[in-house]
Amino acid sequence: MQDQYGREIDYVRISITDRCNLRCTYCMPEEGIENYTSHTEILSYEEILRLVRCLAKLGIGKIKLTGGEPLVRLGCCDLVRQLKAIDGIEQVTITTNGVLLEELAGGLIEAGIDGINVSLDTVERDIFQQITRRDYFDSVMAGIEQVKALRYQNLKINCVPIAQFNKKELVKLAAQARDYPMAVRFIELMPIGLAQAYTAVSKEEIMDMLTEAFGPMTPYAGTLGNGPAEYYSLPDFKGHIGFIGAIHNKFCGQCNRIRLTSNGFLKLCLNQNKGGDLLPLIRGNASDEELTEVMRNIIYQKPAAHHFYEDDQQDTDSRQMYQVGG
Ligand code: SAM
Ligand code: SF4
């Protein structure tokens, strides 16, 4: 469907939990969270499937499962299988920290997952521990190796470059796309919650480092996903390098996405609180037709653009990244 600005909205990011087995310094406090979504508030898989059936009727056919960490929620592979079976759903992908991926990659692939994004900010165990406050580096690397061993082709590595942590790691991270046909993507740090204490590394700086290490980067015209990433090829690389810059390469004019939080809030923009709470409706007597119409009206109102670093902060969302899912 189209929103009030004529943008085609066809992609929903669904956070299936706000819990996580890592504590990335820029995302979650060390001690965890006091106000996790309670078991009574969290959308059941049946409720998620029902909402997705309604969204599919509005032409929203692409889904990304996220979290918190989506793989910590039991039955995630079955959810993928059931989502894939819904009429109008073209694509179901997932973004994961990879900790449980070695165990679950086979199940996800067998369920028909269309893309696996693994978040990895470093290839050094001690820096991983510094960033995530957990000692799961080997598990994550084993998860990535398992996906490769299964010869899965739609693998992406997502890295958030942060001056205080991993600037010296970026060349090594990019090198992972040399021998395997996957994308390594650098995602600009957004000033949300704890991340406000850290400094992003600019795309230009990263490109300079990669060019020096590997040779000239040439823009890649093909499409490798649903999002706003800009891709580049490097000499002798089987895969590609991508950049997503929500702040310095503002792509709101082409934004195609909405978000559903684990407690049923339909969210229209990453840093704004606009949207609507679907929980009372889905737990009340609303019919599928009513739910669909309510969502159509909410989505239509999608704001024109995010307001990061602008004076107009009145609609800024207090939700943190682990509640929204990126
Ligand atoms: N736990 C899963 C994971 O890490 O992939 C899914 C949720 S996590 C919030 C999704 C992505 O958001 C991760 O790649 C993470 O690095 C990224 N992220 C978290 N906080 C961010 C921020 N302030 N700016 C940019 N990306 C951020
Ligand atoms: Fe967990 Fe992902 Fe946040 Fe790290 S970025 S704490 S893995 S939700």
Locate the ligand 1 atom nearest the alpha carbon of residue 69 and give its number: 1
| pLDDT value of residue 296 | 98
Locate the ligand 1 atom nearest the alpha carbon of residue 321 and give its number: 9
Name which residue sits closest to atom 26 of ligand 1, judged by CA: 189
With b for 16 or more beta-carbon neighbours within 10 A and e for fewer, the 135-152 pattern comes to ebbebbbbbbebbbeeeb
* CA 57 to ligand 2 centroid distance, Å: 31
138-186 per-position pLDDT tens digit? 999 999 999 999 999 999 999 999 999 999 999 999 999 999 999 999 9
Cα–Cα dist 29/32, whole Å:
5
The pTM for the full model equals 0.96
Q: For the chain, which domains are there?
A: 11-324 (3.20.20.70)
Low-confidence stretches of the chain (pLDDT < 70) are 226, 309-314
Q: Is 3 in contact with 301 (CB distance < 8 Å)? A: yes
283's enclosing H/E stretch is: helix 279-283
Task: From residue 300, give the alpha-carbon distance in Å to each of 7, 172, 208, 250, 294.
Answer: 9, 43, 41, 21, 10
| pLDDT value of residue 312 | 60
Neighbour tally for 46: CB within 10 Å: 10
DSSP H helix total and E strand total for the chain: 11, 12
240-286 per-position pLDDT tens digit? 999 998 787 778 899 999 999 999 999 999 888 899 999 999 999 89
Q: Is 16 in contact with 70 (CB distance < 8 Å)? A: yes
Q: Is 282 in contact with 291 (CB distance < 8 Å)? A: yes
| pLDDT value of residue 323 | 86
Any atom of ligand 2 within 6 Å of the Cβ of 67: yes
Cα–Cα dist 12/14, whole Å:
6
Q: Is 134 in contact with 22 (CB distance < 8 Å)? A: yes
- CA angle 89-90-96, nearest 5°? 90
